[in-house]
Structure 1
Amino acid sequence: MKPSARAFPLLLAALLPLSACGIPETGVVEAGEPATGVLDPGVTSAPSESVPEAVPLVNVPLYFVEGGALVAVDRTVPGSTDLGSTVLMLFKGPDDKERRRGLTTELPPAAEAPTIRTDGTGVNVQLPRGAGSLSDTAVDQLACTVAVARLRQDPALGSAQVTVEQPGGRLAGRSSEDCPVDAATRRTPSKPGTAETGADPGTGTAVGGTGG
């Protein structure tokens, strides 16, 4: 008998016990770590998205002109503002909506921001050297905007005194008490003036030029 003929019965005998025990004859069974994060049928995973924080809106007080009278405007902008950014916003003039209301400005466009210093209730606004001379109404716009913005920063002050310093040392004093509160109660400060020496007619505060 050939060797292959003798080997066939032996191979068959070895396979019979395996088939009887239910062990599969073919196929590969893989083993490993158990699956994690299994989703229910029909549920798909989605990347987590962080919800952006809402940017708070703030009202910025600005003073413009309507029919020769000073008008208070609250412009709503996102984020916080300081005195410097408020003044730059003022120098840019009324926006489209405000112009449609008939609001204008006597302040010229500013290429450079004024220097602002605060000391309690007092605020000094120093215009850059390249700035031109401001009219009385323009000074009122600037001083009232700064005064009201300062009070919103610190309501406990009660009032604010603003000094506008123009090139050449010309000073003009204004008080927040001389500024209109809103459009419904608008009024110009009493006899505003930019006296270079002596007493300011609008506040009764003595101001004087520093020369130059």
Structure 2
Amino acid sequence: MRGARAALLLPALLLLAGCGIRSTEVVEVGDPAFAHVVPSGPDGTTLYFKGPNGLLPVVRAGAAPGNAVMLLLSGPTEAETDAGLTTELPHYYGVMALSRDGDSVRIRLERAVLDFPEIARQQLVCTVAHAMPGDRRVTVTVNGSDGQLGPATCPF
């Protein structure tokens, strides 16, 4: 009988002791993984809009790099807005020039650009980088009426 009581108490004691495992805080180990899952080139242009946790790619018809920038500056469609996407870039319908020299791309907008928030800059840089044929490791510089942003590269 005494052995039966001890056998019943042993699991209870182990539960109370917790087996010596202590709780820990969350350990940060870096940025989340990123995979390319959207087409580019003749099948579509990848635009980057602001999602709940940072930039999210959206594929739209049209492959020309200049067209991609103008689509981005026009903002998300109604369906994209309904899906929770927004933009930090102002709507812009003015003159825009885009030029490429090797792995350097320059965009010229006829408006102030130095007041663009960081996520807006990333939207522009990543959209241009993914609209360029070939290597996506281009550096992008944006020139505006008040100065220059960059050069910068897209992190993905």
Query: 1:132 Cα shift?
Result: 7.4
* Cα shift readout 1:62-103 (whole Å, capped 9, x = no counterpart): 00001251111112x2xx431111111111111122112100
Higher RCO (C-alpha 8 Å, min separation 6): 2
Tell me the equivalent position of 1:208: none
Could you tell me the percent identity over the aligned residues? Answer: 32
When the two structures are superposed, what TM-score results if normalisation uses the length of structure 2? Answer: 0.65
- Looking at secondary structure, tell me which structure has more helix per residue: 2
Q: CA RMSD in A?
A: 2.0
Query: 1:110 Cα shift?
Result: 0.4
Provide the rounded CA distance (Å) in 2 between the counterparts of 1:171 and 1:88: 18
Count of aligned pairs between the two proteins: 115
- The structure 1 segments of at least 4 consecutive aligned residues displaced by more than 6 Å after TM superposition are none
Identify if the C-alpha distance between structure 1 residues 142 and 113 changes in structure 2 by more than 3 Å, giving closer, same or farther.
Answer: farther
Provide the rounded CA distance (Å) in 2 between the counterparts of 1:175 and 1:131: 17
Provide the rounded CA distance (Å) in 2 between the counterparts of 1:110 and 1:125: 13
Task: Work out whether 1:121 is the aligned partner of 2:103.
Answer: yes
CA contact (8 A) 1:64 1:94 kept: yes
Provide the rounded CA distance (Å) in 2 between the counterparts of 1:142 and 1:89: 11
Q: Which has the larger radius of gyration?
A: 1
Task: Work out whether 1:161 is the aligned partner of 2:139.
Answer: yes
Tell me the equivalent position of 2:36: none
Provide the rounded CA distance (Å) in 1 between the counterparts of 2:130 and 2:95: 18
Task: Work out whether 1:172 is the aligned partner of 2:154.
Answer: no
